Structure 1
């Protein structure tokens, strides 16, 4: 369901297409070039693989373990951003990655839930490594998106970003749907719907709403990469985890223990550290530019 909501992207794309036709722009200026199509298709298959790895890993590990492992995504992203797109790090950004990863891991340390019943030691180890691999793959995907933008021959604009995300979602959905078909997972949907506490109709509404929200989330991710970089996208994603915990406390009256409070403080501290570092860097660049513009008196 994380990628199945891609049809909603046709709405803004169709509007942009009509605008381009009204301006009589050539088709080649609206549609993304073949290189980006191929790269987005490959990224989509990687995302489908990531979903597969995480779903299998989650079935063999408790929620606490999978949460800790998947929280390492930001650390993987930072490493791949450095290797793939030569992301420049400062003391502030390194501090941010460390604090936010630590805060995310902390949320899983005291999560209730033991090993699922009937899971052997071998299955548990398999789930452990598959979940860790899932975090690594997702950390690899976002720098790859940033690299893809840089490989475009024409300037990347809003319509290209939408098409890029649409293609990613289509290929990821094809990959996931193929796996579900081969494993006969589609047959379980009707059974889950009949057992859903709020009724089968509400079950399908929740699925559709979740698909739309996930698609908007991914679209926001590729947009952040387009406007800034993949590291910022990872930081924004990491800060959502403790905020989600706070929202759960408000909405579902869950306990707000010391671990959650400390995780929230660490993530917000890391979040502030990153933007303070960006602020200082931009200020330094502006001062340097201003000095270059000052005329030298003879």
Structure 2
């Protein structure tokens, strides 16, 4: 089972598509804000909030339909409607269930923590992504940057009392704190698992196939959360929540729909970045947006920005910078090694060509000598 990922042939096109997916991924800034808005103004269902993170999966049918008609136009009636094989379906289903669990952990954390705090905790996802990417797909990482991100989360853990929302117990706050860390760890596992699925595929992994994988993942994640909602009887509570919502009933549904759309674009962007780059790069992009989310949380919800948050943010940014420097240095070293290998290969080929030409010359000289000897001393 070799690696069969296929990307656009043109480097420029690949960069454009990567930039487009990064733009969709950047909507992750709006997701936590909309989710927190739901909880602040009277929303109480963690399962509903979890459901919304992947509930917009039917949106994926739009690009899938476009891809199918383009494929049919080029291949004719023989074009396959569904590309994925049973292995990919099962793998996507398993990852989807893990994603559903991750959605619940994250929603629970957002319900209990200020956005600025949960955003900083989610920054540790890069550490988990790097660790799991190393174990699963053998991607190297800068350990120093991971250490800084971990210390940043530790700083927050030691100064939680001043950040606790009014009316919330210390136990609930700590539960949200560790649930958010759990969400970061689990999604740090999900991203490399997606990349590993691409690598283990027994067929060419095109972007159309990536969309199908994402569709299955989101469907099973939504199914997981739907079961939670049914058990918790959250569907019956939606009309009541809408009537009592602080911003009004109509705005309640606007918040829910916007939540679903924003998160779906985020997931599409995440898997697109994995396809055109790597799971680690996707994790980096998510981590880079953490400070933006934190600042927006402070501005939109007037959250406190204590000294420990500043220290944690500084450590996170330091960790990101350290990671980028490490990656830049590693890429430079790899490029130099490739150049040296190419030079050695070229030198070896030149030596072999020279030896071959010398052999020809010696052989010709030998034949010439033999001819001369036979002329001087005929048999």
Q: Which range, TM-score by smaller chain?
A: 0.7 to 0.9
Unaligned runs of 5+ in 2: 1-51, 352-379
Please state if 1:46 is matched with 2:67.
Answer: no
Compare 190-199 and 174-183 and name the one that shifted more.
190-199
CA apart distance, 1:126: 7.1
Q: TM-score, normalised by structure 2?
A: 0.66
Please state if 1:37 is matched with 2:86.
Answer: no
- Partner residue in 2 for 1:80: 132
CA apart distance, 1:11: 1.1
Alignment CA distance shift 1:262-1:81 (3 Å):
same
- Higher CA-based Rg: 2
- Partner residue in 2 for 1:199: 248
Please state if 1:23 is matched with 2:74.
Answer: yes
Compare 130-139 and 232-241 and name the one that shifted more.
130-139
Q: Does the aligned pair in 2 maintain the 1:104–1:241 contact within 8 Å? A: no
- Partner residue in 1 for 2:43: none
Q: 330, 353, 369: which is aligned to 1:281?
A: 330
Q: TM-score, normalised by structure 1?
A: 0.82
Cα distance in structure 2, aligned partners of 1:219 and 1:138: 15
Please state if 1:12 is matched with 2:63.
Answer: yes
Unaligned runs of 5+ in 1: none
Cα distance in structure 1, aligned partners of 2:105 and 2:300: 30
Alignment CA distance shift 1:62-1:279 (3 Å):
closer
Q: Does the aligned pair in 1 maintain the 2:164–2:173 contact within 8 Å? A: no
1:24-44 superposed Cα distances (whole Å, 9 cap, x missing partner): 164459612221111001111
RMSD: 3.3
How do 1:224-263 residues align onto structure 2 when only pairs under 5 Å count? 224-251=273-300, 254-263=303-312
How do 1:1-298 residues align onto structure 2 when only pairs under 5 Å count? 1-24=52-75, 26-28=78-80, 31-55=83-107, 67=118, 72-89=124-141, 93-104=142-153, 106=155, 109-110=159-160, 112-113=163-164, 132-251=181-300, 254-294=303-343, 295-296=346-347
Alignment CA distance shift 1:221-1:104 (3 Å):
farther
1:251-284 superposed Cα distances (whole Å, 9 cap, x missing partner): 4555544334333332222222222222222222
Alignment CA distance shift 1:35-1:159 (3 Å):
same
Cα distance in structure 2, aligned partners of 1:243 and 1:266: 15
Alignment CA distance shift 1:290-1:136 (3 Å):
closer
Alignment CA distance shift 1:10-1:128 (3 Å):
same
CA apart distance, 1:8: 1.3
Aligned residues: 292
Alignment CA distance shift 1:255-1:230 (3 Å):
same
Alignment CA distance shift 1:63-1:199 (3 Å):
closer
SS at match of 1:2: helix
Moved over 6 A (4+): 123-129
CA apart distance, 1:161: 1.4
SS at match of 2:163: coil
Cα distance in structure 1, aligned partners of 2:320 and 2:250: 40
SS at match of 1:87: coil
Alignment CA distance shift 1:71-1:293 (3 Å):
closer
